[in-house]
Amino acid sequence: MQVTTNVRIRQQFSLSRPGARALPRPRRCPVAGCDRIFHNNSGLTQHKRLKHPEYLDEPSSDNITSAPATLDIPDTSSDRGVDSDKSGSYRATVEDVEDEDEIRSSSRCSGEAKESRTRRHYHPHLNGAICDEDGNFLPAHAPPPPRHDPKSTDWGSFESRAHFELAEFLYKDTQMSAGNIDKLFKIWSNHAATNGGEPPFINHKDLYATIDATTVGEVRWQSFKLKYCGPLPEGEGVEIPAWMLDEHEVWFRDPRELIRNLLANSDFDGEFDYTPFQEYDENGKHRYQDLMSGNWAWRQADEIAKLMGTHGAMFVPIILGSDKTTVSIATGQNEYWPIYLSIGNIRNNVRRAHRDGMVLLGFLPIAKTDKRHAGSEAFRNFRRQLSHSINRKDSSSIEEDLEQEAISRTQKLTEQLAEFHELGELWEHFGIVGDIVLIKGGFKDHLVTWVEEVIYATHPKKEAEKILDEIDYRISLAAPFTGVRRFPKGRGFKQWTGDDSKALMKVYLAAIDGLVPDRVVCAVRSFVEFCYLARRNIHDTDSLAEMDKTLAEFHEHRKIFIELGIRTDFNLPRQHSARHWTKLIREFGAPNGLCSSITESKHIKAVKRPWRRSNRYKALQQMLLINQRNDKLAAARVDFVRRGMLEQPKRTRQSAMVDKALSARALELDDGGPVEGHIIAEAQLSATVLHRNLDIDALAEAVAQDDIADLLRNFLFQELHPDTTSTTVNTLPPFNKRVSVHPSALAFFYAPSDLCGTEGISSERIRAVPSWQNGAGRYDCVFVETNPDAPGMLGLDIAQVKAFLSFTHKSKQY
């Protein structure tokens, strides 16, 4: 996934009205928790001296090299009012605050750190101040101007709530085919003819027309065609390549309207940053998480703030991601190249949780030719020009909102810069980010391949093949576990994805241990550790230092590949790009909000499912319409919830557990995944049971554990007497309860770096069954906490689950 910020326009801001005059802004007290407003500097100065003597004045522009003052802001203060009012002091450039932050004044930190674990320093000028539709700023804490909403009984193109919910259920939730919709309404119509009434829709065409008539969230598709206009090959008998004659149709939506819809989406309330900020923990360490917490956002705000009329505006970074995908291996056009759009104000957890924080912008045409012309310079130039022309056209509506003096970065300019500058210089001076694929590129394409070459280089061919077979055999023996893809035939398959590489990474290190030189194992271990560190949800100066240290170890260990003759050098873009990761994290925050896995997951909803719903003839036009209808239904639901016509979706722990339990009934095929709501740790037994209400003898036979009675007696004693340190068999209570055996349990836990809900909660199903999918038994492995005081993994032991049991004692279920 290639990330483009601001469509590479170096200065972007939005004036509320062209030519609007900047009004004098009231001066707000910069101290956290104080709401006083003053109309001149003298009043503000006197107030600070009397009411906040501990507050340090912000450094002047003449002494900008001093450490910036910061505000102690509670970690939960993410609403607009906090972002708008508590702006903090100003500094000109982000480089003035190094990652090794200077120690703050003790008078500022000693008492305030007790109230909050983090401190936020908000940008003082581009702070998203509330204004009316003409750009006039409103007083602090004034309510936003009222929206001109329809009546609470107005359901738009839908006649009633039932009509909307039925349309949403049939079209979006169940994705029922047109034929089945017609059959349903035919049955409904026949019933109504006998008993009175009428069906909500006549047929699928009526249903689709009702959805199409919805105006909320509507951004219509546009198209244009491109064709090669260069010189054609001349001469008698010279064949003209087909790509020179083909027309390439481009479909896109107005990015300006898409961004307005994202900004107006009330579903992002509480998960949206209105101003760039810097965050520090109680020890003064700089923290990086979302894009607006990075240095780049602050630096852009500094530059924009130099322009007249921009103070109080909101900085909206634009993120574009493009990633080609394949929908089928059948014949015909089976490849599509969608472009997705998001804004940097939306937080990473929302973008990763797929709550419509990333929207479909358009589809790039894929120019194709035969093998004879695929490598020609003319064809490669045409593909670059095709991409450049599309980007210019798609971003034209955004450029209209910018000042005429703004500088736009083009593909031609980028290529010219790339000819004369290294990657580091391109980033340092021009903000150009290379295509960085850390796991799939650095791990699979490089390390796994190099390890195989090492084996062939250090052993005869037959012996090398035996070693590779042993590696494959070890990989195939990996115990089944949620989130770890099994490779029953080793790692020798062709269609690799990023998820495949992540799965192999979890088992590959143990598979090669003892079969390759130790330094090769160390190189793989260092790189894997670097990858896991990079995937953290929140970074600080310590984690970034650890990343640099681990990368240095990898660079030292990888020299073995040169010594063994596998490599002559490491001048590879993906090897080099790892050097820039810590700097990019400082610039843009944690990378899990801009990861290529987000676009890969978006493909399922935006490309693959719509393609399957199409009739395959001119599938793209049908896919566009399906996406547009889904967007309208989603926007309509958000609008109805905001207006109080529908209930707010519950994202509590209880509802999440109930939803997961309902979806995991019968064969318990659900392996877990993202969960909405907030919870630290929870486990729930499956709704189904293998054996119900067994006595102790039958239980011992069912689970093949002769001493199960003593184990249960000891367990019950520990539950009833948790403070007891030692027990004997004679003191244990008798156990005569009826016990049920469950096939699995669903574990909920906090894992923000993995695929998760907006609160960072994920789930995994753990199984213990005597037969799995008509085969051998499956008994998953788990971590058991044996020493809560030990750091990290040292307090955990590995265990294999033999059975999940439940029983009731004194009206309490265990």
Does residue 601 carry a pLDDT above 50?
yes
Dihedral angle computed from the Cα positions of residues 469, 472, 476 and 478, in that order, rounded to the nearest 10 degrees? 120
Quick one: pLDDT band at residue 35, thresholds 50, 70, 90? low
pLDDT in tens, 66-77: 333 344 444 433
Which of 35-49, 126-140, 207-221 is most confident? 207-221
Task: Give percent above pLDDT 90 in the chain.
Answer: 29
Asked whether the beta carbons of 781 and 798 are under 8 A apart, the reply is yes
What is the C-alpha to C-alpha distance for residues 13 and 10, in angstroms, rounded to an integer?
10
Q: What is the pLDDT of residue 83?
A: 38
Does residue 540 carry a pLDDT above 70?
yes
* Bigger pLDDT: 486 vs 465: 465
Q: What is the pLDDT of residue 201?
A: 95
* Selection from 425, 325, 436, 393 nearest residue 2 by Cα: 436
Does residue 710 carry a pLDDT above 90?
no
Q: What is the pLDDT of residue 106?
A: 30
Asked whether the beta carbons of 607 and 325 are under 8 A apart, the reply is yes
Secondary structure letter of residue 448 according to DSSP: I
Does residue 185 carry a pLDDT above 90?
yes
Does residue 529 carry a pLDDT above 60?
yes
Does residue 109 carry a pLDDT above 50?
no
Taking all residues of the chain, what is their mean pLDDT, rounded to a whole number? 76
Mean pLDDT along residues 238-267: 87
Does residue 428 carry a pLDDT above 70?
no
Q: What is the pLDDT of residue 55?
A: 54
What is the C-alpha to C-alpha distance for residues 531 and 439, in angstroms, rounded to an integer?
7
Q: Looking at the DSSP assignment, which residues form a beta bridge with residue 762?
A: 674, 749
Does residue 750 carry a pLDDT above 80?
no
* Bigger pLDDT: 668 vs 195: 195
Quick one: pLDDT band at residue 678, thresholds 50, 70, 90? very low
At CA 416, angle to CA 411 and CA 419, rounded to 5?
A: 125
Q: What is the pLDDT of residue 683?
A: 76
Q: What is the pLDDT of residue 748?
A: 78
Asked whether the beta carbons of 227 and 246 are under 8 A apart, the reply is yes
Does residue 179 carry a pLDDT above 60?
yes
pLDDT in tens, 268-282: 888 899 999 999 998
* Bigger pLDDT: 170 vs 4: 170
Q: Looking at the DSSP assignment, which residues form a beta bridge with residue 798?
A: 783
pLDDT in tens, 47-99: 666 666 555 443 333 333 333 334 444 443 333 333 333 333 333 333 333 33
Lowest mean pLDDT among 328-342, 629-643, 646-660: 646-660
The reported pTM is: 0.69
Neighbours of 164 (CB within 10 A): 24
Lowest mean pLDDT among 174-183, 197-206, 649-658, 781-790: 649-658
- Would you call 604 helix, strand, or coil by DSSP? helix
CA 109 and chain centroid, separation: 34
Lowest mean pLDDT among 155-159, 310-314, 592-596: 592-596
Neighbours of 358 (CB within 10 A): 24
Which of 239-248, 447-456, 708-717, 765-774 is most confident? 447-456
Does residue 292 carry a pLDDT above 90?
yes
Query: In the sheet where 691-694 sits, what is the strand order?
Result: 691-694, 739-742, 804-806
Domain locations in the chain? Answer: 4-148+272-305, 161-212, 221-256+317-430+596-616, 438-570, 653-813
* Selection from 575, 499, 478 nearest residue 530 by Cα: 575
What is the C-alpha to C-alpha distance for residues 699 and 705, in angstroms, rounded to an integer?
8
* Selection from 544, 543, 576, 540 nearest residue 558 by Cα: 576
Residue type, 714: N
Does residue 396 carry a pLDDT above 70?
no
Lowest mean pLDDT among 23-32, 89-98, 250-259, 548-557: 89-98
